[in-house]
Amino acid sequence: MGSTNTLLQLIFSSALSGAAIHQLFRTHEPTRATLPLYLTLLFLSPFCLSVAISSDNSTPLSTPLSYISFFACLIASIITYRLSPYHPLADIPGPRLFKISKLWRAYICWTGEQHRALKALHDEYGTIVRTGPNEVSIIDVFSMKAVLGPDGLPKGQGYQVRRDVRTEGSLLELIGDPHAARRRIWNRGMSTESLREYEVIIARRANQLVEALQARDKIDLAKWLGYFTVDFMADMAFGGTAGPQMLENGCDKLGLLSLIEVAAKTSEILTHISWISLLPGYQTVLAKNVQRMLDFGREWSNSRVTSGAQTKDLWYHLTDEAGIEKTPPSRETVTSDSALAIVAGSDTTASAMTCLFWFLLANPECYKRLQREVDEVYPPDEDAMDTSKHPRMKYLGACLNETLRLIPPVPSGGPRTVPRGSGGKELAGHFLPEGTQVYIPPYSVHRRPYHFYPKTESFLPSRWLSDHEFNPTSNAPSDPRRSADGAGEEEILNTEAFIPFSYGPTSCVAKNLARREMMMVIVLLIQRFHFRFEEEFEWETWLDGIQDYFVALRKPLNVRVISRPRC
């Protein structure tokens, strides 16, 4: 009887201890400094209880029962609280699995389907959805401005998890005053004057792309556009003194594209289990691919330093070779930012152009209309690299907008956080406590009928043209639950909800460069070639293969290339 009472006392004490540990973790989240203490409490408490309570009546079951009771109650306490009406996000709808743990969100991220999953959740639950124990996703314009605007929320855990602590952090991860200071330097590198400098590089690499395609009749267009964007970004960042030279080699000898893809997948999955960043060895795992990218950056930066300033490239501006800043950034910081430029600028732009060509080939009437516009503005004997004629390319601009609407380069975006000490934030009719992570997913925002209607899910470039037969309005006056085809109803074109490059002071600093680059390349390719899907290529399902790992990763796009006559 004594042994039984002891075991019951042990089970009760262990269970109570598990519930108490949950309260400690809930009210005082672990930090890198407190993690050893928390781990000690987590894994030694059951053992210490078993020794203290059952020392006189020890049985082989004492320690196992103590651990089982402790962790069973700990897990039960966590689940009960997160599903209870006492949780501060209890009134926000969402699936139970998402409310209980971020592991389900991490699994969906691993599949590459998080952009579609978020849209499905918003279709079911509405404007705001609880997507984690302390996380929400919101898709209305007013909340978007409040979260991403000048007085919005700072970047959340998902960005900090990406940071390699051995560097000062790139522009992507910085927040507050450090971000503003670094952004000021980046803005000089993306000024109108700087863009004119970069046009020369774009033209040179674009013509090199044309030469490569002229020698082939069947290609993976996604791959070759990736070659172009990486080569261009390396030239733009480091002045053309080094780089992978993919267009020249006709392949990715360095494995850079594969590295970018693996790094994107790894980093994005880890953002959904941010607590793992506190564990010993995390930086070694995270930094493996990041460090490889930095190694490329160091090699190219050494070459750039040796050769000096040949042009006013991005390195020129980021290192402040003009002597404008009182305290220029360190060389390691500039290397990190330059590597970021290559990754962010190449993958997103290549993705957007690849998707545009898929939409054009899947919609032949749109392709023919764009081809007519190119032939009118840029006849065969005209220089397709003349950007002064871009304002006349209305339909190309509309096609780009529609592509970026349907497949934004960063489909789900990154999280913002309600700051500690702020007292919380009111968004979408709900109060969000401090520490809540907030997503504004562009893919879901763009595919909301309340923002773009009718044919919200269809490729309809004409919706962006002023001479469109409908009369677009900037805001939707009523609930968007309308007829499937939208016949006889008012069209909605809410340009405020168009955020392919994010929004506010931390929006993509290179958005103007990206748009100019895409227009130059697309005009040249349409002028010189006619494309069509390969006969055996299953193009109908290609769009379903787009995966979301912070950036949109795409499958091969197999096309036939036919040169067009030059006269």
Q: Is 245 exposed, middle or buried (0-12, 13-18, 19+ CB in 10 A)?
A: middle
What is the residue whose two structure tokens read 């979408």? 428
Strands 437-439 and 135-138: parallel
CB 356 within 8 A of CB 399: yes
Which SS3 state, helix, strand or coil, does residue 240 take?
A: coil
What is the residue whose two structure tokens read 């795992």? 285
Q: Which two tokens mark 525?
A: 């390719």
Closest to 302 measured CA to CA, from 252, 338, 270, 255: 338
What is the residue whose two structure tokens read 């010993």? 280
Q: Is 508 annotated as a binding residue?
A: yes
Closest to 271 measured CA to CA, from 176, 174, 163, 117: 163
253: left (phi over 0), alpha (psi -120 to 50) or beta: alpha
CA dihedral over 413, 329, 342, 166, signed as positive or negative: negative
Angle formed by the axes of helices 282-307 and 221-238, to 10°? 60
Read off the amino acid at residue 161.
V
DSSP string covering 430-454: EEE-TT-EEE--HHHHHT-TTTEES
Q: Which two tokens mark 394?
A: 């209305």
Q: How far apart are CA 233 and CA 260, in angstroms?
A: 14
What is the residue whose two structure tokens read 């006269």? 567
Per the annotation, binding residues are 508
Per the annotation, binding residues for heme are 508
